[in-house]
A and B are shown apart, each in its own frame.
Chain A
Amino acid sequence: MNQKITTYLIIGLFIGVVSGFFISGPMMYNKQIATLSNRISELEGQESIALSGVLSIAGSTTILKISQECANNFMQVHSKVQISVSGGGSGHGVKAAGSGEVNIGEASRNIKASEWLSYPDLVAFVIGKDSVAVVVNPGNPLVGSLDLTLEEISQIFSGEVSNWSEFGGDDHEIEVYTREEGSGTRDVFEMYALKPFDAEFAGTASVKPSNGEMRASVAGNRYGVAYISLGYVDSTVIAAKVEGVEATVEKVKSGDYPITRVLWMFTKGFPSTLEKAFIEYVLSDEGQVIVEDLGFISIK
């Protein structure tokens, strides 16, 4: 029995020493590098460049595209930073940031008065601008000539006009898709296209929980119609003209296209070093190029 214990002890000691050797070696080495880089940044009079930690971002599925791309680039530069990005909608973004559930929240609409009351210590940053486009399937015979007034849009999405033949298209039901309540895209679209005409979304509209699913639904449905963030418009769907104006970044910038909105990021209280560094990256020239590349409008 005693012999057995001694054997275990010896094996244990051996493993301990060997692994200790392997672990401590690189650790000491890393430590030296870390002190060295701290020295360098101190010498240059900067803050420590070795950012580290975990950052969580959630909210608008419109801004999701931007924050994913920015997070990837940010993590490449700062290898010790882990960023997790998720959707959930603007309503969720405000709630999650306000309650401290995530570090940075996103909303593709302005913060509502009721939300300011619930979360008075939110600090908000404008990170870009966007618009909302009405999209149809490329196979729809009306494509190319589809030019809608805001009032016609309200009639389509409230179900008042329910057949494509009323616009000179096929005799087929207009199949309306909408976003879930709480979506910033839905709020903005409702504000511009439905509220002015006292209209409400049709009860028969199918609810989709993200910009991506809205686009996929219309891309697969010849008689579908949906509204999505301008940044999500690609070749699988065609954006209709609104009040005679094409839905393009230039027309939104010039103010001709009637729907514009501001994209927000916010933190609970003043942002921490890491939160600040990320938001500053999004606002930097490099970050704003990403914003433009993804089809949104930069703040520059």
Chain B
Amino acid sequence: MKRGDIASKILFLCASFSTLIVFLIIIFLLREGISALNWNFLMGMVWSPHKNLYGIFPTLLGTLVVVAGAIIIATAIGVPCAVFLAEFSPFWLRNMIKSTVEVLVGVPSVVIGFFGLIVIIPFIRNNLGGRGESILAGWIVLAIMSLPHIISLSEDAIRAVPTSYRQASLALGATKWQTVRRAVLPSASSGMRAAIVLGVGRAVGETMAVLMVVGNPETPWIPTGVLDRVRVLTSTIAIEFSYAEWGSPHQYALFAIGVVLFFIVVALNLVATFVIRRRNWNG
């Protein structure tokens, strides 16, 4: 057998192994969680395991609100930052900002959560009122965590736009700003949207940091403002799983939350794939 053949066999094995893992997780989650997944579960208003009530609607809503707000903040800061880095920044400054931002990726979420607990929560409580633990605190913490992903992926997308586009635009007499706005950004937009979708995926899956700052009330309710407290799906699993009795409805309900999270992530990935394919962005 030739060397190339062996190498390709090994590569194929690795590839099929990682696919297999994904499928095993899906099968496992569905097998354990599907029995608890029904309309009352999704639309139920009360989550109270000791009364055998498992309704995740306020928690699901809390998750969506926290993630949506965080992504809006992260996008509003991240995308302009990426445009600056890719188009306007001098080389040395770009390197400095980019490596600083990338350090954020490596900061463990618990540490960011602790920062939220010690700095952000007292700040909100003292200046805006409420308990401090709030949707707003969740937004800030999650925005910090998804910011580096959005910045570096958007910047890559902008830099992937061929130089000839810029040259053509400048040759037609457009200013630098007009070139960026009318020629570069439209070509990079699909890549940038994909970056945002991946940032959302990161935010949905985040557990520890959010758990520490959103308040996590004993019985979640529909939030009435950004200073109100919520629960999110991931932290409900994290807090209650170690305690849930094996084979109890509580455990199945927690698995069903896992299924719901899984479907949210799959939906996001489909959106991302769709967005990337729509334009032929040669990333």
Residues of A with Cβ closer than 8 Å to B? Answer: 88-89, 91-92, 95-96, 99, 114, 118, 175, 178, 180-183, 201-209, 213, 216-217, 220-221
Determine if A203 and B245 form an interchain contact, defined as CB atoms under 8 angstroms apart. no
> With A89-B242, A92-B243 in contact, do A220 and B117 touch (Cβ < 8 Å)?
yes
- Asked whether B229 is an interface residue with its Cβ less than 8 Å from the other chain, the reply is yes
Q: Which of B50, B211, B239 has the most CB of A within 10 A?
A: B239
Cα of A183 to Cα of B240 in the assembled complex, Å = 10
Cα of A208 to Cα of B215 in the assembled complex, Å = 8
Cα of A202 to Cα of B125 in the assembled complex, Å = 21
List chain B residues, Cβ under 8 A from A182. 240, 242-244
Determine if B242 and A92 form an interchain contact, defined as CB atoms under 8 angstroms apart. yes
Q: Which A-chain residue is minimally distant from B242 (CB atoms)?
A: A92
Cα of A132 to Cα of B212 in the assembled complex, Å = 23
Determine if B242 and A220 form an interchain contact, defined as CB atoms under 8 angstroms apart. no
* Sample of 25 A–B contacts (CB below 8 Å): A89-B242, A91-B242, A95-B245, A99-B246, A118-B246, A175-B131, A180-B240, A181-B49, A182-B240, A203-B217, A204-B219, A205-B218, A206-B133, A206-B216, A206-B217, A206-B229, A207-B218, A207-B239, A208-B216, A216-B117, A220-B118, A220-B122, A221-B122, A221-B125, A221-B131
Residues of B with Cβ closer than 8 Å to A? Answer: 49-50, 117-118, 121-122, 125, 131-133, 211-212, 215-219, 221, 229, 238-240, 242-246
Determine if B239 and A209 form an interchain contact, defined as CB atoms under 8 angstroms apart. yes
- Measured CB to CB, the closest approach of chain B to A160, in angstroms, equals 15
Determine if A203 and B219 form an interchain contact, defined as CB atoms under 8 angstroms apart. yes
List chain A residues, Cβ under 8 A from B217. 203-207
Q: Which B-chain residue is minimally distant from A90 (CB atoms)?
A: B243
Determine if A95 and B246 form an interchain contact, defined as CB atoms under 8 angstroms apart. yes
Q: Which B-chain residue is minimally distant from A173 (CB atoms)?
A: B131
Q: Which B-chain residue is minimally distant from A98 (CB atoms)?
A: B246
Cα of A114 to Cα of B218 in the assembled complex, Å = 24
| A213: contacting residue among B131, B212, B242, CB under 8 A | B212
Task: Please give 11 more A-B residue pairs, beta carbons under 8 A apart, in addition to A206-B215, A206-B217.
Answer: A92-B242, A99-B246, A180-B240, A182-B240, A202-B218, A204-B219, A206-B133, A206-B216, A207-B216, A207-B218, A216-B117
- Measured CB to CB, the closest approach of chain B to A37, in angstroms, equals 40
> With A181-B49, A181-B50, A216-B117 in contact, do A88 and B216 touch (Cβ < 8 Å)?
no
- Measured CB to CB, the closest approach of chain A to B140, in angstroms, equals 16
List chain A residues, Cβ under 8 A from B229. 206
List chain A residues, Cβ under 8 A from B240. 180-182
Q: Which A-chain residue is minimally distant from B121 (CB atoms)?
A: A220
Cα of A89 to Cα of B245 in the assembled complex, Å = 13
Cα of A213 to Cα of B235 in the assembled complex, Å = 15
| A206: contacting residue among B131, B238, B245, CB under 8 A | B131
List chain B residues, Cβ under 8 A from A208. 216
Q: Which of B238, B239, B242 has the most CB of A within 10 A?
A: B242
Q: Which B-chain residue is minimally distant from A224 (CB atoms)?
A: B131
| A221: contacting residue among B49, B132, B238, B245, CB under 8 A | B132
Determine if A89 and B218 form an interchain contact, defined as CB atoms under 8 angstroms apart. no
Which 8 A-B residue pairs are closest in the complex by CB-CB distance? A182-B243, A203-B219, A92-B242, A91-B243, A88-B242, A205-B218, A180-B239, A207-B216
